[in-house]
Chains A and B, each alone.
Chain A
């Protein structure tokens, strides 16, 4: 019987493919004119020589959200301008379907970015769905007792009295508690991760911002003190309120 384990099968381990996240520069293309781009880059690098150094051999993604779909795109020339300026164009984003086809012909990847239809309009930023200013807030001036639950839909919750143990205060926006916060407080429950919890005396059982939560014990350094809770980099931060 021949040995089934031939040297070939022994070494052919599967190809290693893994995911990775990279930070890339994005160049927002202002027009479809390659000469104009070359001129703008030259101007910029002349004014800020350090910028030229910084951009040298830097991978760059072209953002085409400012280029209308019907506009002709001399993609090859544009790429040449960039390469002449020592950039490494590595992809496109926010490209119209026609422009995407051009990129595929040049073996240039089309990266997923924001939806082209929702391209940013720098002149007039869309009215932000800022929960904190919406009229859906809730102001409570009596203690919230154990077993009670108050929810400020679409806004901030302000409690001018105590939130007692076993009570729950919930808001789509921020939560302000001016008495002791002894129960649970859940801010930004609709995913608003900029929401915060403010309290004059932190004695909470549980705090949560946009789904991140933690429980608290009385040995916390800010226990019984004025504090704010917010989320940053997928982590809850508790800091003293020093005014």
Chain B
């Protein structure tokens, strides 16, 4: 029986889709059969980040409306053996997502996969509610700034009240906090909230810290999930996140400013 994980945040532009792509790829690299679903109907992005945009024929909405079979809409990832992408529609709007339809798709996927990763749209409207409704666990993506933290707080409240687990009185959705676009140097300069500030404000177990990096932009533009960017701190950080999610102990990295040595500064190494 698959575990359903929603990647959510409330606020837009914090790194939900980047995280969905990297996290799902990471699970697949560990050998788990994984599917990642784009719930952002009308603003289809996940296929771009995964580099499969030219292979989309059918999408989630087609499946929900009965125009295609699930197997026709699932796109096999070109880098990971065990990873599938379920894209969404670019031309429809989020009203095309019906709760019965989403439930049917989830039930079907549950039997075939180990992990179902749901990439939530921003906001707290129906699209986001659909994405989080079936979740067993949630990764709340937050940037170290106050508006993002506040929106994450809001979405954590909604998770606790509006998910299927909450409605049916089951054990609550397991919450994880993922801090992205973290720049230790700017934290030191007082421009960003620190890790401690965010933890203190949200009081949710920390799954990891992804440093601010140009590598993310390069990865997005090339359609490569960031976890595949070899020798980058971003890829390492996402690998740590996956490991911690699977229950392994990993120390936090990339949370202190890099000390530039004297000679390196002198000779610009």
Q: Which residues of B contact A146 (CB under 8 A)?
A: 150, 153-154, 157
Decide yes or no whether B161 CB sits under 8 A from chain A.
Answer: yes
Q: A142-B160, A145-B160 are in contact. Are A166 and B154 (CB under 8 A)?
A: yes
Q: A164-B201, A179-B203 are in contact. Are A148 and B150 (CB under 8 A)?
A: no
The interface bits of chain B over 197-221 (1 if a CB of A lies within 8 angstroms of the residue's CB, else 0) are 0000111000000000000000000
Decide yes or no whether B2 CB sits under 8 A from chain A.
Answer: no
A:103-145 near B, CB below 8 Å: 142-145
Q: How far is the CB of A163 from chain B (nearest CB, A)?
A: 11
Are B150 and A166 in contact, CB atoms less than 8 angstroms apart?
Answer: yes
Q: How many A-B residue pairs have CB under 8 A?
A: 34
Residue of B nearest to A148 (CB): B157
Chain A count of residues within 8 A CB distance of the other chain: 14
Are B150 and A144 in contact, CB atoms less than 8 angstroms apart?
Answer: no
Decide yes or no whether B158 CB sits under 8 A from chain A.
Answer: yes
Q: Which residues of B contact A165 (CB under 8 A)?
A: 150, 153
DSSP class of B's interface residues: helix, strand, loop or mixed? helix
The interface bits of chain B over 118-155 (1 if a CB of A lies within 8 angstroms of the residue's CB, else 0) are 00000000000000000000000000000000100110
Q: Which residues of A contact B161 (CB under 8 A)?
A: 148
A:14-53 near B, CB below 8 Å: none
Complex alpha-carbon distance, A164 and B154, angstroms: 9
Decide yes or no whether A167 CB sits under 8 A from chain B.
Answer: yes
Q: Which residues of B contact A147 (CB under 8 A)?
A: 153-154, 157-158
The interface bits of chain A over 152-179 (1 if a CB of B lies within 8 angstroms of the residue's CB, else 0) are 0000000001101111000000000001
Q: How far is the CB of B27 from chain A (nearest CB, A)?
A: 28
Complex alpha-carbon distance, A143 and B158, angstroms: 12
Complex alpha-carbon distance, A146 and B124, angstroms: 13
Complex alpha-carbon distance, A190 and B106, angstroms: 46
Q: Which residues of A contact B157 (CB under 8 A)?
A: 144-148, 167
Residue of A nearest to B155 (CB): A145
Q: Which residues of A contact B14 (CB under 8 A)?
A: none
Complex alpha-carbon distance, A85 and B186, angstroms: 83
Complex alpha-carbon distance, A165 and B172, angstroms: 22
Complex alpha-carbon distance, A142 and B203, angstroms: 10
Decide yes or no whether B156 CB sits under 8 A from chain A.
Answer: yes
Complex alpha-carbon distance, A26 and B185, angstroms: 73
Neighbour of B153 across the interface among A142, A161, A166, A179, CB < 8 A:
A166
A:207-232 near B, CB below 8 Å: none
Residue of A nearest to B161 (CB): A148
Which of B157, B172, B202 has most A Cβ within 10 Å?
B157
Complex alpha-carbon distance, A147 and B161, angstroms: 11
Complex alpha-carbon distance, A76 and B91, angstroms: 94
B:94-109 near A, CB below 8 Å: none
Complex alpha-carbon distance, A171 and B10, angstroms: 29
Sample (23) of A-B pairs whose CB atoms are under 8 Å apart: A142-B160, A143-B156, A143-B203, A144-B157, A145-B153, A145-B156, A145-B158, A146-B150, A146-B153, A146-B154, A147-B153, A147-B154, A147-B158, A148-B157, A148-B160, A148-B161, A164-B153, A164-B201, A165-B153, A166-B153, A166-B154, A167-B157, A179-B203
Q: Which residues of A contact B (CB under 8 A)?
A: 142-148, 161-162, 164-167, 179
- Ranked 6 nearest A-B pairs via Cβ: A145-B157, A148-B157, A146-B153, A146-B154, A147-B154, A145-B153
20 new A-B contacts, CB < 8 A, other than A142-B160, A143-B156, A144-B157, are A143-B203, A145-B154, A145-B157, A145-B158, A145-B160, A146-B150, A147-B153, A147-B154, A147-B157, A147-B158, A148-B157, A148-B160, A148-B161, A161-B203, A162-B203, A164-B202, A165-B153, A166-B150, A167-B157, A179-B203
